[in-house]
């Protein structure tokens, strides 16, 4: 089993209220852990990277901060559904 070390030094969230930042961060961490542990992430095959950008993440109207964290994690991890961004409720 490969060992993956992921360090997030800075997370920039534009348009997110300060009050929601902790919920976004917690959901991001939990989702990244789940995606990387499942082995379905393409992030593990990319090797060393100095920076990753999630790009634009689309959420349904009324989505909460946790949904944003999960969507960003999916984009970072290389989840194909997140890259398509066209499923209902998908980033």
The series of mean pLDDT values per 10 residues for the chain, 91 residues long, is: 73 85 93 81 66 78 92 81 46 40
Q: Which pTM was predicted?
A: 0.71
- Alpha-carbon distance of 27 to 41, in angstroms, equals 17
- Alpha-carbon distance of 90 to 73, in angstroms, equals 12
pLDDT at 70: 92
pLDDT at 75: 86
pLDDT at 89: 40
Per the structure block, which two tokens stand in for 91?
């980033």
Half-sphere exposure of 88 (CA within 13 A, CB side): 0
pLDDT at 90: 41
């Amino acid at each position: 089993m490969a060992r993956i070390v992921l360090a997030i030094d800075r997370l920039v969230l534009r348009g997110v209220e300060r009050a929601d930042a902790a919920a976004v961060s917690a959901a991001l961490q939990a989702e990244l852990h789940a995606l990387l542990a499942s082995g379905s992430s393409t992030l593990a095959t990319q090797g060393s990277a100095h920076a990753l950008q999630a790009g634009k993440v689309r959420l349904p109207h009324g989505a909460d901060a946790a949904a944003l964290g999960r969507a960003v994690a999916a984009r970072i991890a290389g989840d194909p559904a997140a890259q398509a961004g066209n499923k209902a409720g998908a980033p």
